[in-house]
Chain A
Amino acid sequence: MTAGAFISLLQGAGMTLFISGAGIVLGVPLGLVLALVRWGRVPVLGKIVAVYVSLLRSVPAVTLILLIFFAVPTIGPEIGPITAAIVMLTLNTAAFNCEIWRAGLNNFPADQLEASRAFGMTPLLRFRRIIFPQLWRSSLPPLINEMTMLIKSSPAIAVVGVVEITRAATRIGAQTYDPLPPMIVATVLYVLVIMLFVGLQRITERRYGQIGAEA
């Protein structure tokens, strides 16, 4: 494998990180919104979110990206591969993040909610001052775990032609007729990125225990 091939794999890694990062930045808050809709028992919408989560959690990333990339243009606007990739990862991870945020909300100590109500806090103030500061800490380790799952499913976006790590590796393999070395380097790149997240998860687990654990 030449230095040029190695550089194009690194560029692929950049693309994987960019698209995964976009999916995380969009999917984590979207998951929180979905979780709040279900937690707040919003009529009709809550049920829709429940169905959405169940559906999205069982759809393979490959199938979903093919659906978005090929079907959206037939009923709506043209969609490029990178946009399709970000939309797919966001929709997918939001469903899992919704369940993580919801578990945190369901485990939230009821006495604190009652106390804040007794102090006459508005729901918004209660969320901002009481719930969220504790919720994000307890949800962070499982959220980071979901980020590693997102990166592990990101090779799916190669099927619509996004040149990320996997696509770069198959391309080099096709040019050199020797697919194994670029695949091994690509795997090492993935392992390094995912290990970074696993390390982060362990650190956050140690720093932030369960809600109310220190109390």
Chain B
Amino acid sequence: MSRDFGIVWDHADLLVEGLINTVILSLAGAALALMLGALLAILLMSRNRAVRIPFRGMVDLMRCVPFLMLAYLVYYGLPSFGLNLDNWSAGMFTIVIYNTAYMAEIFRSVWSRLGRESLEAATAFGFQGPRLYIRIIFPQIFLASGPLLGNQLIQIIKDSAFLTIIAVPELTHAASSIQAQYFVPFAAFIVAVLIYWALCLLVEAGVFVVERAAEARR
């Protein structure tokens, strides 16, 4: 058994490369989805029913689709729109559009629980348009949605493992290729599992720090 772990250790460079890809895909994907999700949340909270209802329907629909199915649809579907993405970009594209819906829904749920007082005070002080969103609404929403965003980031890290199926060289893919070459399934996958665990514990620790900061601001 220790020989197996030795083989995995000899190919640590592959695992590190996979880990870096997983981290980049998850963090950059989450950051882009966060920004797009915030914009989409504005549409979900629109007072105009003709805007609100179709966008809410789209978000609800997206949340019923398994991540892997969306990855396949992007991977096989985009070329017929004349957009040829390599596997890595297709994976990134999938992460962003999938999680934009989840992020928007998180922001919408936090937003709808936001008190009217701060909003009314802000309008009384003459805040309106983009300044109202940037200075008043979004800071409160971001601070209040810390734990939910942390959970979503963990979900993104876990979903990114699906991308091994469309041959994106992320962590699970690296473990898979080591195991396929040397047949060391236990060592290869247990190492991957432990790395995922460490990543998620890091995210949880990050959420804890942000929560403390948010608590101090309230």
Contact = CB atoms under 8 A, between A and B. Distances in A.
Interface of A: 54-55, 57-64, 66-67, 70-71, 74-75, 148, 151-156, 158-159, 166, 169-170, 173, 179-180, 183-184, 186-187, 190-191, 194-195, 198
B185 A60 contact: no
Q: In the complex, which range does the number of interface residues on chain B fall in?
A: 35 or more
5 closest residue pairs by CB, A with B: A58-B200, A60-B161, A70-B185, A67-B189, A71-B186
B197 A62 contact: no
A190 B66 contact: yes
Interface stretch (B33-41, B73-81, B112-120, B121-129): B73-81
A66 B154 CA distance: 20
B189 A191 contact: no
Nearest to A92: B158
B39 to A, nearest CB: 24
Interface stretch (B89-97, B172-180, B210-218): B172-180
A159 B80 CA distance: 26
B72 A183 contact: yes
Contacts of B200: 57-58
A71 B185 CA distance: 5
B189 A66 contact: yes
6 contacts: A58-B196, A58-B200, A63-B175, A64-B193, A74-B185, A166-B68
A179 B80 CA distance: 11
A159 B193 CA distance: 17
A66 B65 CA distance: 23
Interface in B191-218: 192-193, 196-197, 199-201
Contact of A58 (B66, B69, B199): B199
B111 interface: no
A184 B67 CA distance: 13
B61 interface: yes
Name, among A55, A63, A71, the residue most crowded by chain B CB atoms within 10 Å (CB to CB).
A63
B162 interface: yes
A158 B197 CA distance: 23
A149 to B, nearest CB: 9
Contact of A190 (B69, B157, B192, B201): B69
A182 to B, nearest CB: 10
A180 B172 contact: no
B165 interface: yes
Contact of A67 (B72, B77, B158, B185): B185
